[in-house]
Structure 1
């Protein structure tokens, strides 16, 4: 499998995971099938759109090809028809969010590095790519974005992107480096929820 194919697969997996998380949130908010598909599409594509715009890759990929909307539509339909089955999992939205977070952090960082950005900018763009869909999903669902109040969220994406950029800097590229970075971001996010890790907050009078 070539590097291009591998990262294209990562994009598809991240888009599906975020699309499914958006659709599940829509179902919990009791939206109809159209609302479910809209929220799935917004969650699955927002991060990639922001990434492409910041890199000057216009029009964004979601407007050039049909696959992003096709993948998010499939995610929305899966949630619509199999929502009760998915809900049997423990905290399915969080798990899907964590998976999408790790995948998009690495994919976004990789695209930024390929575009010629230095590692600090590439890591930052990887994080932005990862959190963009979740932020838009929560806003559209009339919720405070998780990135602003939940356990370690953006920091997990930042760690995954930084791990991948570090691997590239030492000449370690390909599936092993990307897969390890994705797993790191996923593990940090899930562990933060499981063990209640939080970042310091300002004291109150």
Structure 2
């Protein structure tokens, strides 16, 4: 996995963390903390599950640097120009796509079974967002029925990645194809309100 992909994932998730602070009366420090939790939370849970010590952002602090720069830049920019209404959702969608495959590929590299790799891909993609939403006092997006194809998009993309790894092991573009699957599914779900059935009883 090229390092720039995980750096980009951290930066995009940090941006979503700052955008999520809107309306919560947070200062710069609070917004950066929220951004860092969003950026490294999922990868931290993944590394702990895989038994990797120290976790990725302790081994290489550049991940923190990229996240902080992206967070501060977004904080400053948002003070001088209005952010589009869907900026948070779009940034979050890119974070899902990048981190979903980063987590899946790292789990496979650590010789985890395919099912475990898919689950850790999902965890890497959504755990940071869960922590972000809990800290800002909101129901996490992954548990909201009105948020369309969230973890489901990551699950499908991770499975596509694993199948392509098996069928085309020498191809260098399968990770980008799988990321595109996640991103397209999430954006299409946002556009056309695609979602799974909601659990309801007859009563």
2:22 maps to 27
Q: Deviations over 1:143-201 (max 9, x none)?
A: 00000012110001111111111111113455411111101101111111111112111
1:81 to 76, 92, 101: 76
More helix by share: 1
Partner Cα separation in structure 2 for residue 169 and residue 72 of structure 1: 33
Closer, same or farther in 2 for the Cα pair 1:14/1:129, shift >3 Å?
same
Partner Cα separation in structure 2 for residue 174 and residue 123 of structure 1: 20
1:156 to 150, 153, 156: 153
| Contact 1:108-1:129 at 8 Å conserved across structures | yes
| Contact 1:167-1:173 at 8 Å conserved across structures | no
Closer, same or farther in 2 for the Cα pair 1:135/1:202, shift >3 Å?
same
1:196 maps to 193
Describe how 1:15-94 pairs up with structure 2 within 5 A: 15-83=10-78, 87-94=82-89
2:116 maps to 121
Stretches of 4+ aligned residues off by more than 3 angstroms: 84-90, 172-175
Q: Deviations over 1:115-147 (max 9, x none)?
A: 011211111111111111111111111000000
| Contact 1:40-1:76 at 8 Å conserved across structures | yes
**Of 55-64 and 41-50, the range deviating more from structure 2:** 55-64
Give the CA RMSD over aligned residues.
1.6
1:180 corresponds to 2:157: no
Partner Cα separation in structure 2 for residue 104 and residue 85 of structure 1: 30
Closer, same or farther in 2 for the Cα pair 1:86/1:74, shift >3 Å?
farther
Displacement of 1:202 after TM fit?
A: 2.2
Partner Cα separation in structure 2 for residue 89 and residue 172 of structure 1: 40
Partner Cα separation in structure 2 for residue 54 and residue 35 of structure 1: 28
* TM-score scaled by length of structure 1: 0.92
1:134 maps to 129
Partner Cα separation in structure 2 for residue 60 and residue 75 of structure 1: 21
SS of 1:27 mapped into structure 2: coil
